[in-house]
Each structure stands twice: as C-alpha cells, then as structure tokens.
Amino acid sequence: MDMIKTAVDSGFRNDVISCFAGERFAIPARWLYDRRGSELFEQITELPEYYPTRTETALLANFSGDVGAHIGHGRAVVEFGSGSSTKTPHLLRAVAPSAYVPIDISGEFLSASSDDLQERFPELPIHPLEADFMHPLQLPDDVAGLPKLGFFPGSTIGNMVARTSVDLLRSMRETLGQSAYLLIGFDRIKDEDMLVAAYDDSAGVTAEFSLNLLHRINRELNADIPVGDFAHVAVWNDLYARIEIFLEARSDVSFAVEGHDVRMQAGERIHIENSHKYGLRDARLMLRAAGWSPVRDWSDENDYFSLILAEA
Ligand code: AVJ
C-alpha cells in the first residue's frame, strides 16, 4: 500500500506566525493533530465525559446496515480526517466497498492505522492520502471511475464556522463527483454542563491535548513558549452554539516565535478551537446550502449525536 503525501507543513508555520504577529491570537484547530496530538485525541475519545465517539460508534454499529441497503455495495469510501479509523470497520462491512481512501493530515498516524485496517480487510484496496482536506483534493487515480461514498464522521465539521463548513461540503461534493453520497456526523446541542465537561475532563487529557499545540510550536518551529504558564479553558458560546477552547496566559509572559518577540498579559487567550453543535434541522439546512440533499438520518435515543446521509 502506497501513501500519497501532499505538503501540509508550511501551512503550520504560516498560521502560527500570523497568530503571534497579527492582532488576534488564534490558531486553526487542525494543527492540534501532530502525532502526539492524534494520540491524545484517541485518549479523549475514551474519556467518560466525552460522549461523541462512543455514541457515534454505536450509531454506526446499529445503522450501517441501513446505509448499505440505501446506497448498495461496491462504492469507493473516502474518509475525511480518518485518524485511527476505529469507527470505519462497521461501515466497511455494511457497504462492501471496492476501495477505501482514508485522508488525514497526520501522515505517520495515517500509515499506522491504514496498516491495521489492511490486516482486518486483507482484500480491500486501501489508498491512504496524507493531505489537509481543507484544500482542494485530487483523489488517487485508482478510484477515478468509481462511484463514491464520502464519510465525514466525528463531528469534525464542528471545528469550522458555518461559511467554511458550507465551502468544504460544496468542495467535497465536487471531489466525490456525480451520484456520490455523503455520510456525516453532527454533534447535537445539549445541556451546557455536559458540553463543558466533555471539553474539560476531570483527568486533564483535553488540557494536555490543547497544551500540546504549544509544545508542538516549540518542537517544530523556533520558539520558547513557557507552556507551564498557560491553561486550557473551555466555554460554551450560546450565540454561536459552540464550545470555544482557549489557551490562557496565567501570568504576564514574553517569548519568541520564529524571530518575533511576543508579549501576552495575564488573562490574554489564544483561541485554538471551536466545536459547533447543531440541531438536526440546522445540520440539514447546512448540507442543502452546499448542494447536498439529505435522504436519511439516525440519532441515539438521547439525541446526543446524529448521522446524516445525503445525496449529491
Ligand atoms: C475532532 C473536532 C470532533 O470537537 O469534539 C475534542 C475535537 N477537541 N476535545 C470535537 C476535540 C477537544 C473534536 N473533533
């Protein structure tokens, strides 16, 4: 199995420099996922407070058969942001794909998880693609003529603001081509305490995941950020229906990043992540705004999470 790699690294440097050189302290959430970040995120998915992964996995276990019955067998499954691909086996068994294209920004993590999956599905052609799916994608030639099922689980869409989500969903529709389907996971609006706990767990794993971004900047760029002087903060923004995650300076700090001197006062925050939550109708409307037609959806009994199947 050969992995196709595309350049994702210079984007990190540029985004970090503009965070500290500009007037707004903000870094896009995708840079949380280096190898260490991807491992920490895997730990997050197993936390008692973090309900999305286990809820969505149960939905896939229960309803992948319905998806297969609706779309038939033999499509190429294209997974956006595949990470460890733990949820994928349920779907793969139900839709019997002719090929599988996992796309992830963390190449190392992608090749390890693709190897695992290949052992479980020895006959399945797997074509991993290391890429930032926020930029236009070229799918491997091997799947060019096949009808596609896009798979975008985990509520990854929640990381994006609405206009970016719509742009991405529209470009996925172009990438996946005529007669494609998309199966996408949305995290639902729910009790605020439950949401905040999911992003600020008692074991501190989410805090470590956030702080790893500063360690990553120190590791990969020329920087000396005093990571111990920052704290992870998660708040619910009801107007925007999203959890916002920040790294807050706990004292006045000064450091350098790629030759830029940076000062932050105690209480100043770097905005590192949004996690938008949706009503079912909000989610369907967003899909329609991007040209997709929702055809079916599945939710757990508490309406914590929903999967929507849409047609191009
Ligand atoms: C991978 C974007 C779905 O928003 O729930 C979890 C990321 N960040 N805890 C989410 C995340 C902190 C996660 N997504």
Burial class (CB in 10 A: 0-12, 13-18, 19+), 39: middle
Best residue among 41, 195, 206, 305 to mutate for probing ligand 1's pocket (most ligand atoms within 8 Å of CB) is: 41
Q: Sort strands 305-311 and 181-187 into parallel, antiparallel or unpaired.
A: antiparallel
Q: What does the CA dihedral 256, 258, 264, 268 come to, rounded to 10 degrees?
A: -140
Q: What residue's CA is closest to ligand 1, atom 6?
A: 199
- pLDDT above 70 as % of the chain: 99
| Residue 59 main-chain phi, psi, to 5 deg | -60, -45
Best residue among 160, 275, 276 to mutate for probing ligand 1's pocket (most ligand atoms within 8 Å of CB) is: 275
Q: What is the number of other CB atoms lying within 10 angstroms of the CB of residue 64?
A: 22
Using alpha carbons, select from 197, 198, 184, 159 the residue that is nearest to residue 306: 184
How high is the pLDDT of residue 252? 98
Is 7's pLDDT higher than 70?
no
Ligand 1 centre from 170 Cα, in Å? 22
Counting other chains too, the contacts that 6-12 makes at CB distance below 8 Å and 24 or more residues apart are: 6/129, 6/130, 6/131, 6/132, 8/105, 8/130, 8/131, 8/132, 11/132, 12/220, 12/221
Average pLDDT (195-200) is: 98
Q: What residue's CA is closest to ligand 1, atom 4?
A: 275
Partners of 5 in the β-ladder: 130
pLDDT digits (tens, 9 = 90+) for 245-276: 999 999 999 999 999 999 999 999 999 999 99
Residue 81's alpha-carbon distances to 101, 123, 182, 231, in angstroms, are 11, 23, 14, 27
Q: What is the mean pLDDT of the chain?
A: 94
Higher pLDDT, 109 or 197: 197
Crossing angle of the two packed helices 35-44 and 205-220, in degrees rounded to 10: 180
pLDDT digits (tens, 9 = 90+) for 117-132: 999 999 999 999 999 8
Residues with CB under 6 A from ligand 1: 44, 52, 154-156, 158-159, 199, 206, 209, 273, 275
Is 23's pLDDT higher than 70?
yes
Ligand 1 centre from 142 Cα, in Å? 32
Ligand 1 centre from 156 Cα, in Å? 7
User: What token pair was written down for 252?
Assistant: 């006045």
pLDDT digits (tens, 9 = 90+) for 46-102: 999 999 999 999 999 999 999 999 999 999 999 998 777 778 999 999 999 999 999
Q: Which of 127-136, 145-154, 179-188 has the lowest mean pLDDT?
A: 127-136
R_g of the chain computed on alpha carbons:
19
Ligand 1 centre from 275 Cα, in Å? 6
Specify whether the CB–CB gap between 124 and 118 falls below 8 A: yes
Q: What residue's CA is closest to ligand 1, atom 2?
A: 156
Residue 32 CA: nearest ligand 1 atom is 8
Ligand 1 centre from 22 Cα, in Å? 26
pTM: 0.94
Is 277's pLDDT higher than 90?
yes
Residue 154 CA: nearest ligand 1 atom is 3
